[in-house]
Amino acid sequence: MARAHVLGVPRIGPQRELKSALEAYWRGDIDEAALQSVASGIRQANWQRQHAAGLDFVTVGDFAFYDQMLNHVALLGCAPARFGFGSTLGLAEYFQLARGNAASPAMEMTKWFDTNYHYLVPELKPDTQFSPGTAWLFDEVAEARTAGFNPKPVLIGPLTFLYLAKEKTAGFSRLDLLDRLLPVYGAILARLKAQGVEWVQIDEPILALDLDADWRTAFERAYHQLNAAGVKLLLASYFGPLRENLQVAMKLPVAGVHVDCVRGGDELAQVIDWLPVSKVLSAGVIDGRNVWATDLAAVLDRFEEVHRRLGDRLWVASSCSLLHVPVSLTGETRLDPELRRWLAFADEKITALAVLKTAFNAGRAAVAAALADNQQALASRRASTRVHDAAVGERLAALTATHDTRNQPFAARQAAQRVRLKLPPFPTTTIGSFPQTAEIRSARARFRKGELSEAEYTATMQREIRRAVEKQEALGLDVLVHGEAERNDMVEYFGEQLAGYAFTQNGWVQSYGSRCVKPPVIYGDVSRPRPMTVEWTRYAQSLTDKPMKGMLTGPVTMLQWSFVRDDQPRSTTALQIALAIRDEVNDLEAAGIGIIQIDEPAYREGLPLRKADWPAYLDWASRAFRISASGVADTTQIHTHMCYSEFNDILPAIAAMDADVITIETSRSDMELLRGFGDFNYPNEIGPGVYDIHSPRVPTAADMTRLLEKAAQVIPPDNLWVNPDCGLKTRGWAETEAALANMVAAARTLRHTYARPLAATTAQA
Ligand code: GLN
Ligand code: ZN
């Protein structure tokens, strides 16, 4: 009998119950027992769901109060010594690791592979010790048993755990800690076996990465030792093909291997070739990273022969944990019914696995109705005019090299823009958003609910724009913004106005801790039916003689922070969005706007996991950006903005975007980040963020002057802009005004210091 299972499910609960309970607990509104009871309810419901659908196991250990890596820090007794905790953590201590306390800052957080989920980064030193720690996993296994389920615990494997951790001392390799770590894993496995567990899923997603030889060879040693515990191990890799790690993975002494057949589908034949006759193959056929219904007949066509060969040794599974998709379509009553049929969230993916299992074991006839329904939904998606817009296809086909290049090279544009804009040296600006006050949020919410008329809403937003413009003029900023009061979110705001985008009511996905995001769904060809920002921007420009910067979200970020189509390459969708943004850029220009910023904070996040795949991505991503930006005259200045801390490995691709000005995050690294731009001789203008908007601290003019002087050492001073790190929407007005006043003072100091050399190169000093 083929078996079916999932690698993990969402832990937030169908109505984000975990989020509410966590936040209530942190506020002190509920006690630990109440929080535990919510958690237990979520786990029980998740297991019940898997069991009732007919899956062969319930996954245990995919639950975490904050994060699965942090759970492993607790399980392995390796909390950073700086917190001074013992080897077994209480819940209060666990949360201090995640959120910090008065004495110790929180552990760092970073993105989990190429997902939008963030994990807490274990901290390792040469003397880090591991020991059996917090017993939550064993408690949960017992909990599942007691409730009558067949638990399959899941662990993050020792190599992935070490790989994703950070060395907090120079001069040692965290891989050296493997021998100290393995006995603790051995003890955990032995204890699970003693609890009557048959199978343990052990996740090693680093097998989808480029691994150095020492990491690759460590696998065999590690798994020889873990195999000795006598419990059956299902080694799980996901998020990509195995490539040069394939043989290593297939030869490990484990009872079964899970592979991602969605992203690594081309390798299936090789995987089967290498699969030893005794091993189980768990085929990840249902996409855990996307929200589309799987073509079940296509899976059956592909795997029925495999099933004949492997028999009981074939399991069907989600490609990865379902953590990365929303919980259920049940509550989506407002989605268009046709579109809804094309979708599958975690619940629907579990159902699909059960259908596949029955089809393998009892034949397709046993699930004929479900298969027919699935085929109908897919046929409607393939044929739908809501998906396919011939005009968009024709525009894409007609793209030529002229669409992704500006008329003249940067130097000529820079000269033309200087004549037109007449900005002083070290021009000052902000990244776009101003404080989103309670009044702004409430006006937006009331407008959405229909409690505020269109006219009242427009008047309220115009008042906010006027206020922001007056404040910027009083501060003496050079390039103004309208403040983005009308935007709740930089992707949602545009997505709602573009054809091809849909929004769910309850499609939440955990981002980190209690924080969840609700990514839009790109289901069809994207186009822009009408201007999206022109009226607000035109109004803002009418209030001032200073240049007003138009503010847009770029195509890569629009793509990256959405669920995307799986029926065409990401690059095609990116180009469609690029054309829609280009229409907006051109309309802003026609409305007299001389500076347009196209934000791309997610540009780097889009990088594929494997270096070999980077050039292709960077090629289409930078092209998409250039297509959005290149419809304008040379006198129109295009800005972009990115806020993260690693640029150096993609500087050529950032230069290839050919934005006239890029604003970046640098203040937290004391301008060190800029060195890369300097060494690379980055050709265009740069605004290194001179203050950290994530902190309420108001930086002094002297702080910012020092940073700018440091920046002027590595970047030609006449290419430098002066601006904060990022948008100011999360800050209050008082601190914002104080900080910006100091920032303007710092720019004036620099103008004074560099007056002479610059006078020769700028139109007006
Ligand atoms: N223009 C946006 C803002 O100022 C940019 C936000 C971002 O970089 N994430 O809020
Ligand atoms: Zn930013």
Cα 121 to chain center, whole Å? 16
Q: Name the residue with tokens 């009871």.
A: 37
CB of residue 433 inside a 6 A radius of ligand 1: yes
Rg of the chain over Cα atoms, rounded to whole angstroms, equals 27
What distances in angstroms separate CA 167 from CA 38, 119, 215, 648, one per listed residue? 36, 16, 15, 21
- Cα of 141 vs centre of ligand 1, distance in Å, is 44
Among the bound ligands, the one closest to the CA of 493: 1
Residue with CA nearest ligand 1 atom 10? 727
CB of residue 560 inside a 6 A radius of ligand 1: no
Whole-number Å distance between alpha carbons of 556 and 570: 10
CB of residue 674 inside a 6 A radius of ligand 1: no
CB of residue 490 inside a 6 A radius of ligand 1: yes
- Cα of 101 vs centre of ligand 1, distance in Å, is 29
Written as six digits, the tokens of 567 are 């029926």
DSSP state of 83: G
* Residue 756 pLDDT: 63
CB of residue 601 inside a 6 A radius of ligand 1: yes
DSSP state of 127: T
To test the ligand 1 pocket, which listed residue (116, 429, 433) has its Cβ within 8 A of the most ligand atoms? 433
Whole-number Å distance between alpha carbons of 389 and 384: 9
- Cα of 433 vs centre of ligand 1, distance in Å, is 6
- Looking from the CA of 26 toward its CB, the CA atoms found within 13 Å total 18
The region that residue 267 occupies, defined by phi over 0 for left and psi between -120 and 50 for alpha, beta otherwise, is alpha
Whole-number Å distance between alpha carbons of 80 and 169: 12
Contact between residue 447 and residue 457 where contact means Cβ atoms under 8 Å apart:
yes
CB of residue 550 inside a 6 A radius of ligand 1: no
CA-based max dimension of the chain = 84
- The residues facing 543 across adjacent strands are none
Q: Global pTM? A: 0.95
Q: Name the residue with tokens 């109908």.
A: 376
Residue with CA nearest ligand 1 atom 5? 727
CB of residue 599 inside a 6 A radius of ligand 1: yes
Written as six digits, the tokens of 507 are 């499609």
Contact between residue 562 and residue 495 where contact means Cβ atoms under 8 Å apart:
yes
Whole-number Å distance between alpha carbons of 742 and 700: 6
Residue with CA nearest ligand 1 atom 3? 727
Series of mean pLDDT values for 10-residue runs along the chain (765 residues): 97 98 98 98 98 98 98 98 95 97 93 96 97 97 98 98 96 97 98 98 98 98 97 98 98 98 95 96 98 98 97 98 98 94 98 98 98 98 96 97 96 98 98 96 96 97 98 98 96 97 97 95 98 98 98 98 97 98 98 98 96 98 98 98 87 97 90 91 96 91 96 96 96 97 98 72 44
- Looking from the CA of 634 toward its CB, the CA atoms found within 13 Å total 12
CB of residue 693 inside a 6 A radius of ligand 1: no
Among the bound ligands, the one closest to the CA of 600: 1
Atom number in ligand 1 closest to CA 727: 4
Q: Name the residue with tokens 């937006």.
A: 444
Pick from 486, 484, 564, 483: nearest CA to 521: 564
Whole-number Å distance between alpha carbons of 208 and 267: 12
CB of residue 689 inside a 6 A radius of ligand 1: no
- Cα of 434 vs centre of ligand 1, distance in Å, is 10
- Cα of 552 vs centre of ligand 1, distance in Å, is 9
Q: Name the residue with tokens 């290194």.
A: 688
CB of residue 491 inside a 6 A radius of ligand 1: no
Residue with CA nearest ligand 1 atom 9? 601
- Cα of 728 vs centre of ligand 2, distance in Å, is 9
Amino acid identity at 464 = E
The region that residue 351 occupies, defined by phi over 0 for left and psi between -120 and 50 for alpha, beta otherwise, is alpha
Q: Is 482 noted as a catalytic residue in this protein?
A: no
- Cα of 168 vs centre of ligand 1, distance in Å, is 31
DSSP-derived secondary structure for 144-191: HHHTT--EEEEEE-HHHHHHHSEESSTT--GGGGHHHHHHHHHHHHHH
- SS3 string of 545-572? CCCEEEEEECHHHHHHCCECCCCCCHHH
Whole-number Å distance between alpha carbons of 251 and 219: 10
* Residue 130 pLDDT: 98
Residue with CA nearest ligand 1 atom 1? 432
Q: Is 311 helix (H, G, I), strand (E, B) or coil?
A: helix
- Which one from 388, 639, 694, 752 is the annotated catalytic residue? 694
- Cα of 726 vs centre of ligand 1, distance in Å, is 6
Pick from 370, 332, 377, 331: nearest CA to 351: 370
User: What interhelical angle do 32-53 and 91-99 show, nearest 10?
Assistant: 90
Atom number in ligand 1 closest to CA 431: 4
To test the ligand 1 pocket, which listed residue (434, 472, 481, 484) has its Cβ within 8 A of the most ligand atoms? 484
CB of residue 729 inside a 6 A radius of ligand 1: yes
Q: In what order do the strands lie in the sheet with 280-286?
A: 3-5, 314-318, 280-286, 256-260, 232-236, 199-203, 151-156, 58-60
